Each structure stands twice: as structure tokens, then as C-alpha cells.
Structure 1
Amino acid sequence: MIHFKKTVLLPLLLSGCATQALETAPASPDRPWQPNVAANGELVPGKPGSHALAVPAGYTLPSNSQIHVRPPAPELATQAGHAYSLPELIDIAQSANPETRRAWNLARDAALAVGITKSAYLPRLTATVVGGYNHSRNDGANPSVSNVGIAENAINSGLSGLNSALGGVRNSRSGAGEIQTLGMEWLLFDFGKREAVIAATKQAQIATNVLFTAAHQKIIYGVTTAYYTHAAAQSRVVLLCKARDNARFVEAAAVAKLHQGQGTIVDVTQARQATAQTELRLVQAEGDEQNTALELLNAIGISPNTKLETLDISGRPLGLDDIRLTDAFVQQAVSRRPDVLAAYANAKAAKSRVRAAKSEFLPKIFITGNVAYTTGRLALSSVPGVGSEAPPTLNLSSNAFSSLILGGITVPIFDGGTRAALLKQAQDQSDSADTTLQQTVDSSVKQIVVAENALRTSLRAYTASAKLETAAMTSFEASSAAYRSGVGSMTQTSIAQNAYLDATLAHSDAYYAALIAAAGLAFGTGSLNQNEGSSIPSAM
């Protein structure tokens, strides 16, 4: 009865242990989770104990002191006050940005995958050592005989009395032993499966290496656009500072005329309104400048706490020649884009996987063997091997040395359609890879044409905004002079002032938009590099 209770209670206790893990989950859907927090603020497994760190009330998690914000980039801290050019920041990004290291690790993993698949041509050697100790004991038994006729009861009674007098028949036996084996398996011929697998892995490695280059191009493009965007924000701040000074000059003129009895309070109010509007736009522009600086640091991949000064690139001449991409140039550009090259390699890898799937229908030739040495007296007929590739060991009850080598051929006959399904999957994947390649090519052509249109539009906008800025400046200077001479109105001066400010900002924005569009075209054609990220192509 006691044994029955133990047998029933033990599974119940074990099942209760599994559900105890619910104590570490949130208690209810409408209450905050109470984590188990170490003294340093780190979240640790388990339910909170009596000595756990108290957490803030509500849904605020504790601060982990083991997580640190990166300090300013040391490569920039050593050159405080230096204005960095775009190529300098790109060089820093290529070594500091985490994306390059991740892409590099993926490329290394792909190279190792090729080495792993090549190892399929080599034999597999497995060494196994099995040892143990065996002990058995017999506490005795009541001897008896049967089928002896009328004397059976008398004989059994005599044997039972003798067994009781002698205390029963007892014996014990023990022994130890071990076996040492060295096994070998070698696939000699498989009708090209290993070759196809290696070819697919090599193509996958090419795709990974191409994507490593793509990661660098992406970083160059990201730093380039962030650099020009930040430069545009800085230029807007400078221009708005000048506009604020102009607005204050006009406001001072309106106040002076009012004191001279030539102006009105309405003129002064309009002038002050124009000054306030310009100051508001300046505050907003300064905030944008700070945000774009953070975006630049993030694109480089360094700490946001880094103080960075960039080189002033305003006023550089732009190549304003009309850009027309020829079909030959588009063909060359598409064929060198990283995404197209990676899609092409993936398509070839998929075809190799189809060949590997077809080889599963063919025989395989192999050899296998092992060398074993056994010693001891375990009184066992067999001991299972350790590991999926280890052969069973036999008869650990003697000292023996044995060796075995076998050769064979395996021919797949029936597997319920598994190989046919795998082949169909490989063929479908190959078809999808070919379709993806064609789609990638078409998308690349579209991106190149769109980038060309964007650059051509930006250059035309830059030219048009230059004319607009010149006309707006002339209008503002004329209306301002007329107002000071007493023949103009403050309304006309304010309108001209706002128009001149908008035209100046538009011209500046068009300048940096053309630089960003040029970088976009270079990125789209797969020709963006560290030294040409800021160039405007003059002809293609």
C-alpha cells in the first residue's frame, strides 16, 4: 500500500513543479509585471525574492547598471575643433558602423560554410571509450522438486528444513570492463550530390560577399545624405540669421520714421511682425540643425554624445550639363549593382540545389569499418554506442582485439515520395530565384531612371532658384530703399522681404538637393564610393 501511494504521488509532485514556473509570469493582465532584480539592476530569472531590489511603481522597469552609453568617439575626440570633410567621415563610418562588422561576420560565416561542405569528401572518424562496473547478488531461494510421486511432500519438507538451517543459498558477483573503438565512415561516390551542394554554397558565399560590399555602399550613401542634409540645415540657420538682421534693420527704419513723424504705428507693427516671424523660423531651423547633426552621427555609427564639426561646402560650383543616360550605361550600371549581383548568385545557387536533389535518386558507394579492443568481465552481451555515429559494442566479458572493414552500395527504392517532393521544392525555389532576379533587374532600371530624373530636376531647380533669388533680392533692395526715401510702403517692403527670404532658402535647399540627388544616382548605378560621394556627374 505504501509503495502504491509513492507511485501515485511522485508523478503528481513532478507535474506540480512544471506549473510553478507560472509564478515568474505577470500575475494578471491588468497589473504590472514584478521582475526579479539583482542589486545592480539587472533582470534575472525567477520570481522576486525578499532580498530583491525594489522596482518603481507602475510600468517603469529598473535601470540596469551593466548597460552603458557609449562615450564620444575617440577617433573624433583627439581632433577637437577640426572641421571634417565628407570623405573623412565616410572613412570613420566604414570602421565604426556596426553594420560593416555584421556584414563582415556574415561573409566569414559564408566562407566557413563552404569549408564545411567540402569536408563531406573526407572520411568520418569516431573514437569511443565505454567502461563500467557490474555487481549482482543472490539472496537465496527455497529449493523444491516436483513429479516424484508420493514422496514429493516429504522431500520438499526436508529440503525446506535444510535451507532454513543453512540460512539459504547466497552468492554475489562483480566485475569491471571497458572497450575502446575507432570507427570510420567514408562516402566514396554519390553521383555529384556533394559537388552540387558545394557549388550552391560557393554561390551563396559570392552573394554574401556582394552584400558586404552593398553594406559599405549603403553606409557611404547614408553618411553622404546625412552630411548634405546637415549642411543644408546649417545653411538655413546662416541665411535666417541674415534675414533676421535685415528684418531688424527694416524695423529700425520704421521706428525712426515714426519718430520723425513720417511713418505710422501700423508700419512699425508690420516690421516687428516680420522680425518675429523670422526669429521663429530661426529657432525652428536651429532645432533642425541639431537633429540633423544627430542623424549624421547615427549614420556614421558613433556615439550621439560626440561633438562634431563639419566642413562648410556651400558655394561649390555644380556641373549643370544636361544628364542623359544611354542604354549602354544603364546596362552596365544594372549589371554591377550589388542587389542584382546577389540575386544572380542566389539564382545559380538554387540551380545547384536542384542538381543535389536529383542526385538523391541515385546510388551511393561507401566504406565503413572499426577497430576495437575490449577488456574486463562485465558479463554483458552488448552496450549501446555513445553518439549517433558510434557502433554498438559487444561482449564486455573478455579481453579481445578486433577489426572490421566493409564496403557497400545503397540504392534508394521507396521513401513515400519524400525525394520527389524535395526535388519539386528545389525546382520551385529555383524558379522563384530566377523571377526574383528579373524583378530585381527591372527595379534597378526604375531606380536608376528615377534617380536620373531627380538629379536633372534638382539641377534645373537650382538654376531657376538662382534667378528667383536675384530677382527677389533686387525687389527687396528697391522696396527697402523706396521706403526709407518716403515713397514706398511698409507692406510692399515686408512682402519683398519675405519673398527674398523664401527665394534665398529655396536656392540653398536646391543646391543641397542637387548634391543629394547626385549621390542617389551614384548609389543607384552601383558606383558610389568614398571619394565620389559628393560629385555631380557632368555627362553620362
Structure 2
Amino acid sequence: MGVLLVIPVTHAQIDPFSTRAGLEDVSPDLNWMARDTDACNVTSLHNPVSIYEAVSRALCSDPTARESWANMLLNSAQVGVAESAWLPTLDASGTRSRTVQTQTVSGPTFPDAIGRTSDRYAELRLSWVLFDFGQRDANLAYYKGLLDLSKAAHTETLQSVFGQAAGAFYAVWTAESTLDAADDAEKNAERSYQIARHRHLAGAGTLNDELQAKAAWQEAIYARVNAAGTFKTAQGNLCVRMGIPVETDIRVDVDAGVQPDVKFTSSVADLLALAQAANPKLREAHAQIDADEANAKLALRRELPTISLSGTLSNDKALGAFPRDTRTGSRYIGIQISIPIFAGFGDEYHRQASDAQVDIDRASLHKAELDVAASVWRSYQDVVTKTANLEVAAATQESAQEAYDVASKRYGAGVGALLDVLNAQTTLATAQRQVIQSQADWRVARLVLAFAIGTLDGQRWNTHAEAP
């Protein structure tokens, strides 16, 4: 999409009615990200990758974003076609012919008779609709409604691409953080095993303690290998979203941008009100109603007369014609009235179908309003829950770390049991994973809430920005 957005308008892309004006202002922040100079340049890939770069590259390379942009261009062109109905049409036609006619008469004393004629004809025809009882107005309103619909759909597409790319980014963040935690857990397990082994060799511990510690160490290795596999899978998914080779070994910047905050005081009523005004799905539904209402008016207007101005200017020149050359010119101008009388009841059924479509659109709007409200409510409650979990997970990890340190020191000093160390070790590893998961869940929950409201592009971004 980024390539499409920066293509300059050439002489072949004239826009006399300015129907494409303002298209780049649809979701301007996300479009601005997609037009970043380095967005689709593979050689400029940074490592680690920021959330900004991940989203920019996804917006630039995703085919659905390019498709929705092209759909806006299509509908803007249709608006131009509707606008052109107010202007006259002027057609020119002409012919040029040459005729050679040979007459042969039998007999030695009669020569062939040869006749040559040429004809030149030119005509200029003018047609201009002067009054049509609102047909052109309704037709223009219909296509403007479709353009508004495509604008809302483009916003939804960009936000969807944004959400998918950010989700893939945070999946890599979670997998990388989990892998780091698994490495720490493996080191702790290995340290516990070495302590148990030395105690057994020194006669201060038992073989059973050594074997249990070794089993715990091998289990930690198993967990670390699985975490590495999950990390590679997440890396590949993010590469696909960014439009870069899937085997690219990328890392993500886990420290840039906003960090988790346990304070969340937004009112759900305010968020619901914001969603009613900003959500692109609701804007699509309203635009669809406007377009189909205009189409219903158009169906009614088509049963009314049309008054047009028409005229022709022609010139016909025949050279070599019998008995002499002829030149004929004509001029015509007049008012033409076209009155539809009977079309086999097709117009009536067309009007009924248009009215029924408007009723369908209104029902779809009500359904969309209910869906958006439910989505915002669920997402809001999820953010509240994930926000509360942040503090709990952090406190749990702190306690687990203290318990592990105490148990490890006591066992090393010969006054504690290995089972206490292994239990504390397992609890600490679980707590570390919970902290990582709670932070990832908090970030993703905020994304989902912003997408449900329809405000993923509601602020100006920079290269160090975090998702709203």
C-alpha cells in the first residue's frame, strides 16, 4: 500500500472533479506509517525490530491493505463518472470514401466507361441533459455513499493489519522473554544439580537427591528447547506479517515505548460513546444506508421525464457525382423530452427491492451496534483483569525469588532439604512465566480494546511509539 500511496499523479491520472482529494487523510496516522521511506526496504531492517517498524512494514506489504486502497480509488472514480453527468457530451464522426465504377459494353466500337466519385462526411453531435428531476443527484449521492463506505472499510482494514502485526510482534516478545526465563530456570536447575552432586560425592547427600536434581535439570532443558521452538515459530509469523523472508532471524525491542501500568481508570461509558463515533464498522453501516437510500431515490426518479438539449452540425461533400459535384451542410438544435411510459413493471420492482435493501441495512446497523458494544464491554473487562494481574504476578515472582534464594542457601549449607529447593525452583519458573504472560496479555488486551473502539490510529506516531 505504501507504494500506491506515494505514486505522484501523472498527466494520465487527471482528476478534474478532485474525487481523490482527501483519500490519504483516511486513517492518516497509519497511512503516514505506511509511507515511511524505509517501510518496504529490506536492506534497512533494524535488529532489534521496534513495534513501529513491524507495523509499518506490515501496512506496506499486506495485500488486503493494497486492495482496500484500490477499492477507494475505484469508488472515487465512480463518483467522477456521476459528476460528469452534469456536463454536455460532444461526439464527432466522419467518413471518407472513394468509388471507382467501370462499365463495359460488348462490341469492338464501344470503349469502357469509367466513373470516379469521392465522398467526405463529417458530423458533430451535442447532447446535454438539462433537467432530470433529481436522477443525477440521487446517482451521485449513491456513489458518494459507496466512497464513504470504502473509506470506512479501508480504516478497518488498516486497523486489522495493525492489530495482526502488533499481535505477532508481542508473540515474539512473549516467546523471546519466555526463552530467556527458560534459560534462567535451566541455569538454576543445573546449579541445584551440581550442589546435590558435590554433596553426594562428599558423603553429605544421597544419590536420590542427586538423581532428583538431575531429573529437574533435564526437565528444565526440555522446557528451554520447547521455548526455543516456540520462539522460532513466532519469529516466522512476524516475518510473514512484515513481508520479509520467513527465515530472517529477527529480534524485537522489548524496552521501547510504554511499559505496563497497573493504573486503568477509563470509564466504559466513555469508551462505548467513543466507539459509536469512531468505530469503522459502524461508519460502514451508516455509509451503506446512505448509499442504498440514494439508490432507492434513484429508482423512483427514473420513472420521471428527462429534458435534454441536443444538436448536430454536419457537412457532406460528394465530388464526381452525376450530374455535378454536390455539397450539403446541415445544422440542428432542439430540446428533447424523454418520458418513460411502461417498462414491464421492472421499475416498480426495482424500487421495491431498493426499499427492502434499506431495511436490511438498518437491521445490519443495529446488529453492528450491538456487536461493537459487546466487544467493547468484553475488551474493557479483559483490560481491567489483565491490569490487575500485572501487580499480582509481580508480587508472586518477588516472593518466589526470595523463597528460592532461601531454600538454595539452606540446602547448600546442609540444613535444608533438596525437595524444598526443587519446589521453590519450580515455583519461581512458573512465576517468571506468569509475569511475562501477564505483561504480554496486558499489551494485547489494550490492542484489542482499541480495535474494538476503532481508535488504533487515533494519535500521531513516532519510531519509539507503543500501541495505544
Match of 1:123 in 2: 88
Distance 2:289 2:304 in 1: 24
Residue matched to 2:212: 270
Deviations 1:449-502 (A, max 9, x none): 111121122123333323332343344334433433445444443333223212
With over 3 angstroms needed to count, the CA separation of the structure-2 counterparts of 1:472 and 1:375, relative to structure 1, is same
Shift of 1:524: 1.5
| Residue equivalent to 2:252 | 310
SS at match of 2:397: helix
2:98 and 2:117 in contact (8 A); partners too: yes
* Residues paired across the two proteins, number: 425
1:519 lines up with 2:447 in the alignment:
yes
Aligned positions of 1:235-254 closer than 5 A: 235-254=177-196
**Aligned residue number for residue 20 of structure 1:** none
Quick one: structure 1 residues 493 and 168, their matched pair in 2 at CA, closer, same or farther if it must change by over 3 Å? farther
The gaps in structure 1 that reach 5 residues or longer are 1-71, 141-162, 380-396
What pairs with 1:90-129 in structure 2 (closer than 5 Å)?
90-95=55-60, 97-129=62-94
Equivalent residue, structure 2, for 1:340:
282
Q: Provide TM-score, normalisation by structure 1.
A: 0.71
More helix by share: 2
Q: State the partner residue of 1:291.
A: 233
Preserved CA contact (<8 Å) 1:76 1:308: no
Determine which of 408, 421, 427 is the counterpart of 1:480. Answer: 408
Taking only aligned residues, the RMSD between alpha carbons, in angstroms, comes to 3.2
Amino acid at match of 1:231: W
SS at match of 1:367: strand
Higher relative CO (Cα under 8 Å, sequence separation at least 6) belongs to 2
What is the CA-CA distance between 1:324 and the residue it aligns to? 5.8
In structure 2, relative to structure 1, the CA distance for the partners of 1:400 and 1:223 (3 Å cut) is: same
Deviates more, 1:320-329 or 1:258-267: 320-329
Match in the other structure for 2:363: 435
Contact map agreement 1:134 1:378 (CA 8 A) in 2: no
- Partner amino acid for 2:442? A
The alpha carbon displacement at 1:166 in A equals 6.7
Per the alignment, residue 10 of structure 1 pairs with none
User: What is the aligned partner in structure 2 of residue 362 from structure 1?
Assistant: 304
Q: Does 1:372 align with 2:320?
A: no
Contact 2:126 2:310 in 1 (8 A): yes
Q: What is the alpha-carbon distance in structure 2 between the residues aligned to residue 496 and residue 226 of structure 1?
A: 33
- The match for 1:77 among 24, 35, 43 is 43
Distance 1:128 1:316 in 2: 68
Percent identity, aligned pairs only, is 21
Q: 1:407 aligns with which of 335, 340, 343?
A: 335
| Separation of aligned partners in 2, 1:262 and 1:286 | 37
3-state DSSP class of the match of 2:96? strand
- The Cα of 1:120 is off from its aligned counterpart by 0.5
CA contact (8 A) 2:90 2:124 kept: yes
Letter in structure 2 aligned against 1:417: F
Contact 1:518 1:534 in 2 (8 A): no
Question: Is the 8 Å Cα contact of residues 203 and 348 (structure 1) preserved in structure 2?
Answer: yes
> Which residue does 1:321 correspond to in 2?
263
For residues 33-52 of structure 1, give each alpha carbon's deviation from its aligned partner in whole angstroms, at most 9, with x where no partner exists. Answer: xxxxxxxxxxxxxxxxxxxx
Q: Structure 2 residue aligned with 1:232, among 169, 174, 178?
A: 174
CA distance in 1 between counterparts of 2:269 and 2:43 reads 48
3-state DSSP of counterpart to 1:437: helix
> Contact conserved, 1:133 with 1:378, CA < 8 A, in 2?
no
| Preserved contact between residue 224 and residue 534 of structure 1 (Cα < 8 Å) | no
TM-score, scaled to structure 2: 0.81
Give SS of 1:399's match: strand
* Secondary structure in structure 1 of the residue aligned to 2:92: strand
Q: Return the alpha-carbon distance in structure 1 between the equivalents of residues 140 and 204 of structure 2.
A: 91
Distance in 1, matches of 2:453 and 2:375, equals 9
Q: Does 1:214 align with 2:180?
A: no
Following the alignment from structure 1 to structure 2, what is the Cα–Cα distance between the partners of residues 167 and 461?
Answer: 119
User: Structure 1, residues 49-83: CA drift from partner, whole Å, max 9, x if none?
Assistant: xxxxxxxxxxxxxxxxxxxxxxx9774634755x4
The answer (yes or no) to whether the contact 2:42–2:244 under 8 Å persists in 1 is: no
More divergent stretch after superposition (252-261 vs 208-217): 208-217
The one of 199, 203, 223 equivalent to 2:165 is 223
SS at match of 1:412: coil
